[in-house]
């Protein structure tokens, strides 16, 4: 919205423009049932895929070969290492995985290595996902669509950026509860660095 405003008016917005979604009580009840988490659980959202890999895997599924890496995607093993670091300090941490059907193989691989995983890949619609954000302590993702959904629902957000420009596509608008961690490529971002950012929202 701000970008369109700049195109046609050539002036800066006088205030930060935000966007939101409006899940209903029905969506909230549905997502709580799907989570089925203990009352004392610390729920941490992880989006371990991205649009690029989902698109590639939609077609590769036909030939039985699925990609696990994309230039915008933090490696799966880094997400696993992140979860293990968090669980050392917070044994009640549960990791809620979001994504679509083409990202399920990533979620399954994560689930095989990390206890207390709640795999919601391919199990939510947009408004259920919006309702989910309200249940999370924080959300870790790359430059992908759910990052913007997290912004819309004001969940504390850690966005991981490599080759893309966070100023152009990153969390909007700027806020104290939205943090961008970037490197020249995704491999430059360490699990320890991300774990430190997550820790802010677990105390």
For 13-30, letters b (16+ CB in 10 Å) and e give eeeeeeeeeebeeebbeb
The CATH architecture that domain 21-199 belongs to is: 3-Layer(aba) Sandwich (3.40)
Buried b (16+ CB within 10 A) or exposed e, 149-170: bbbbbebbbbbbbbeeeeeeeb
Question: 111: helix, coil or strand?
Answer: helix
What's the first-to-final CA gap in the chain, in angstroms? 35
Supply the pLDDT for residue 165: 86
Taking the mean position of all CA atoms in its chain, how far away is CA 76? 13
Q: What is the pLDDT of residue 163?
A: 82
pLDDT tens, position by position, for the chain (203 residues)? 454 444 445 454 545 678 889 999 999 999 999 999 999 999 999 999 875 555 554 444 443 444 555 577 899 999 999 999 999 999 999 999 999 988 898 999 999 999 999 999 999 999 999 999 999 999 999 998 999 999 999 999 999 998 888 888 889 899 999 999 998 889 899 999 999 999 999 98
Counts of helices then strands in the chain (DSSP H, E) = 9, 6
Q: Which ranges of the chain does DSSP label H, i.e. alpha helix?
A: 2-9, 25-35, 51-60, 76-89, 104-111, 126-133, 145-152, 166-169, 191-199
């Amino acid at each position: 919205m701000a970008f369109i405003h700049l195109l046609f008016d050539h002036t800066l917005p006088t205030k930060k423009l935000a966007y939101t979604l409006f899940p209903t009580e029905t969506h909230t009840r549905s997502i709580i049932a799907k989570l089925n988490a203990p009352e004392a659980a610390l729920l941490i959202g992880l989006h371990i895929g991205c649009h690029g890999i989902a698109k590639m895997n939609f077609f590769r599924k036909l030939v039985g070969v699925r990609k696990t890496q994309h230039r915008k995607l933090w490696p799966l093993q880094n997400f696993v290492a992140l979860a293990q670091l968090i669980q050392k300090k917070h044994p009640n941490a549960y990791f809620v995985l979001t994504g679509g059907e083409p990202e399920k193989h990533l979620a399954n691989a994560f689930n095989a290595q990390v206890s207390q995983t709640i795999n919601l890949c391919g199990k939510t619609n947009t408004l259920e996902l919006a309702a989910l954000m309200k249940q999370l302590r924080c959300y870790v993702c790359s430059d992908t669509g759910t990052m913007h959904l997290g912004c819309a629902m004001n969940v504390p957000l850690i966005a991981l950026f490599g080759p893309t420009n966070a100023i152009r596509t990153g969390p909007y608008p700027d806020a104290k509860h939205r943090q961008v961690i970037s490197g020249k490529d995704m491999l430059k971002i360490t699990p320890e660095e991300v774990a430190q950012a997550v820790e802010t929202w677990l105390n």
